[in-house]
Amino acid sequence: KTETVDVVVVGAGAAGMLCAAEAGRRGRSVLVVDHARAPGEKIRISGGGRCNFTNTGTTVANMLGENPRFAASALGRFTVADFVGRVDRAGIAWHEKTLGQLFCDDSAKQIVRMLTDAMRAAGVTLRLGTGVAAVAREGDGFALTLSDGTAVRCASLVVATGGKSIPKMGATGWGYDLARQFDLRVTETRPALVPLTFEAGLLEQTTPLAGVAVDAVVTAGKTRFEEAMLFTHRGLSGPAILQISSYWREGEAITVSMAPGVRVLERLKAAKAENGGKQAVHTALGHIVPRRLAEVLTAREGANGKLAEVGDKVLARLDAAVNGWTVKPVGSEGYRTAEVTLGGVATDQLDQSTMAAKSVPSLYFIGEVVDITGWLGGYNFQWAWSSGWVAGQAA
Ligand code: FAD
């Protein structure tokens, strides 16, 4: 038996659910399929369980891709205020944490519920535990075979399968493969918003610091982020590193300042001039950076004694170690822990006002599967909402 619907959305994630609810509200019959057991699993685990659902400062300047300006149309049509309005109407309490990042006060599950409620109110059918086995063009629409063998005909097909990150949660490359099946160009994909790793020799130096966090400025090429940074057993993590990972490429060094704006050498010289320089070097440095970091750096520079016992050259080396640390990561932790995937369906293949493929007008791509990737801080969900909304008006 063949089912016939107006719209099939593949992927009940952030973009797919918002899109489906919009299309349903316009009176379209909508079927959403997802091979996962529950909808919106990435929303549920996002933002440490509180979902950083948008960023008040979202612009194309916070987006990466071949052409980040492509995102301007959707971001301008379904704005941050539009999404916050929905959150408010759903009675979900939220707060701004930092840097324009909006989080739920209670739980990310509230956002998932808001979206599933919107789909239900719009008469959308959600079929979980179901993938798509085959897609064929049929007239201006599509003939689908679902993984359970069901045949479905639809006028519009929306691909909202997200990126490749966290395969354990059901991420697949299906959306990219489908794009290629219809001769749409897909840009190179790579893990982003991901911890960076060090080779064994470097790890020997930094492993004693695992767990130490500092406010840092991290620079790769011309790009610079000032946020928290964390030493791990494998290298570096924390918001500043996740941000820079989207820009860093293999073989490049990053520069780290672990006491941004602090004149470390001057501070150490001043401490040396006090009380005859009796203070231990690591104690003086420990007033500038975390104690464990101060201990490791002073030991490395052989400055284990009192300030009076070390020359200014050594103090200058400590200054450089704190505020001019240049280090070459070997790689990243990969899709296993990456929050997002850079790259995807090339934006020049899509119509920015509908998200439809230019060469296949009833085939839509929304959310992370598209070559638009946001910074850390709520930008990726805003892209999912905005791109989902515009497709929901057109599909
Ligand atoms: P997804 O939400 O990933 O949804 C894709 C859906 O498609 C999934 O339900 C999946 O099961 C389904 N699917 C995949 N392949 C198939 C297939 N072949 N057949 C059927 N179904 C399929 N972004 C923020 O803005 N703020 C945050 O706080 C934040 N925190 C994050 C924390 C973590 C740990 C991770 C991993 C990501 C986080 N992100 C955050 C990024 C954000 O989750 C994604 O950018 C966003 O979910 C993308 O939305 P999407 O709808 O495109 O894809």
pLDDT, one tens digit per residue, over 320-338 is 999 999 999 999 999 999 9
The pTM of the full predicted model, rounded to 2 decimals, is 0.97
CATH code, domain with 120: 3.50.50.60
What sign does the CA torsion over 161, 164, 170, 173 have? positive
63 and 201, same domain (yes or no):
no
147 and 15, same domain (yes or no):
yes
322 and 353, same domain (yes or no):
no
178 and 252, same domain (yes or no):
no
Q: So what's the pLDDT on residue 256?
A: 98
Q: So what's the pLDDT on residue 359?
A: 98
Ligand 1 site residues (CB inside 6 A) read 10-16, 33-36, 41-42, 45-47, 51-52, 131-132, 160-162, 165-166, 170-172, 174, 339-340, 367-368, 378-381, 384
CA of 42 to the centre of ligand 1 (A): 5
Among the three residues 309, 332, 355, which one is the final residue of a domain in this structure? Answer: 332
Q: Are 310 and 303 in contact (CB under 8 A)?
A: yes
Q: How many CA atoms lie within 13 A of 245 on its CB side?
A: 31
CA distance 142 to 164: 25
175 and 215, same domain (yes or no):
no
CATH code, domain with 328: 2.40.30.10
Tokens linked to 111 = 């956002």
Confidence of residue 75 (pLDDT cuts 50, 70, 90): very high
Nearest CA to ligand 1 atom 32: 46
Residue 134: strand pairing partners: 145
384 and 253, same domain (yes or no):
no
Confidence of residue 5 (pLDDT cuts 50, 70, 90): very high
Q: So what's the pLDDT on residue 197?
A: 98
145 and 16, same domain (yes or no):
yes
25 and 141, same domain (yes or no):
yes
CA distance 292 to 275: 24
Among the three residues 288, 305, 332, which one is the final residue of a domain in this structure? Answer: 332
Give the number of domains in the chain: 2
180 and 215, same domain (yes or no):
no
Share of the chain above pLDDT 70, in %: 100
Q: So what's the pLDDT on residue 59?
A: 98
211 and 357, same domain (yes or no):
no
Share of the chain above pLDDT 90, in %: 98
Among the three residues 281, 300, 332, which one is the final residue of a domain in this structure? Answer: 332
CA distance 291 to 107: 35
Q: So what's the pLDDT on residue 169?
A: 87
Residue pointed to by tokens 């016939």: 4
Nearest CA to ligand 1 atom 49: 14
Nearest CA to ligand 1 atom 25: 378
Range of the domain at 246: 195-332
18 and 119, same domain (yes or no):
yes
Nearest ligand 1 atom to the CA of 384 is 49
**Torsion angle, CA of 254/258/262/263, rounded to 10 degrees?**
-70
20 and 110, same domain (yes or no):
yes
pLDDT, one tens digit per residue, over 11-59 is 999 999 999 999 999 999 999 999 999 999 999 999 999 999 999 999 9
CA distance 324 to 241: 16
Q: Give the other-Cβ count within 10 Å of 2's Cβ.
A: 9
Nearest CA to ligand 1 atom 35: 339
Nearest CA to ligand 1 atom 12: 11
Q: Hey, which of 103, 174, 339, 375 would you mutate to test ligand 1's pocket, going by the most ligand atoms within 8 Å of its Cβ?
A: 339
Q: Give the other-Cβ count within 10 Å of 317's Cβ.
A: 18
CA distance 22 to 326: 49
Tokens linked to 41 = 């699993």
CA of 283 to the centre of ligand 1 (A): 45
Structure ipTM over 0.90, yes or no: yes
**Residue type (1 letter), 248:** W
CA distance 372 to 67: 8
CA distance 4 to 31: 10
pLDDT, one tens digit per residue, over 115-162 is 999 999 999 999 999 999 999 999 999 999 999 999 999 999 999 999
